Chains A and B, each alone.
Chain A
Amino acid sequence: AQSVTQLGSHVSVSEGALVLLRCNYSSSVPPYLFWYVQYPNQGLQLLLKYTSAATLVKGINGFEAEFKKSETSFHLTKPSAHMSDAAEYFCAVTATGFQKLVFGTGTRLLVSP
């Protein structure tokens, strides 16, 4: 079985500060890992994905994540937060060949001026 754990249901940062959203995964097979963002009253938008190629993955809007097998982690970072980054972020895992995404509980990012 696969699962992800997102530490911190809420993360608050100031505009311009580093964003760090934590995700740890559990998987019995090599995983595919994803970060999605959800703005109010909208669906999920894919930020980035890890599919066993490069361990440092760059995504949209300046976000990136590093796959660390030894730590079973896939934390999301952004060097400098913008007000527009305020949203809910979901980490997800799936196994090769299966379409079922297993999501974490989400982290709401709050950005203050």
Chain B
Amino acid sequence: KAGVTQTPRYLIKTRGQQVTLSCSPISGHRSVSWYQQTPGQGLQFLFEYFSETQRNKGNFPGRFSGRQFSNSRSEMNVSTLELGDSALYLCASTSGAENEQYFGPGTRLTVT
């Protein structure tokens, strides 16, 4: 069974631009969560989608948004990029009711 895939793996953007990251969950998983990892703030929850609906949201500004498609693939978008948005963005999909999350390799975003 294929794992969680994320594209692209690396991305360099300029301040003020916007970016879209993609995540394909493990086949059969319907919940997708996004996390931001930075050296200063650690791992922080962004949002979670289940059956195309945002079910939970972390404490991030409205510049961060996401969506989920009918095939459970998810995208997150960051608009008006700031230097502080430079981070590893991790996607995870969930199996069953025990909240066991499987993570993808991440997208490393660098904002210059």
Q: Interface on A for B, CB 8 Å cutoff?
A: 32, 34, 36, 41-46, 49, 51, 90, 92, 94, 96-106
Contact = CB atoms under 8 A, between A and B. Distances in A.
B90 A32 contact: no
Interface of B: 4, 31, 33, 35, 42-45, 48, 50, 55-56, 58, 90, 92, 94, 97-106, 108
Contacts, number: 62
B99 A99 contact: yes
A44 B105 CA distance: 7
Contacts of A42: 105-106
Given A34-B100, A101-B99, A101-B101, 9 more contacts: A32-B98, A36-B103, A42-B105, A49-B98, A51-B99, A96-B99, A99-B101, A100-B45, A101-B35
B106 A43 contact: yes
B33 A99 contact: yes
B98 A51 contact: yes
Contact of A101 (B33, B98, B104): B33
Contacts of A100: 33, 45, 48, 56, 58
A34 B33 CA distance: 16
A100 B101 CA distance: 10
A45 B90 CA distance: 12
Nearest to B33: A99
B87 to A, nearest CB: 13
15 contacts: A41-B108, A43-B90, A43-B103, A43-B106, A45-B103, A46-B102, A49-B100, A51-B99, A90-B43, A94-B99, A96-B99, A99-B101, A101-B43, A101-B92, A106-B42
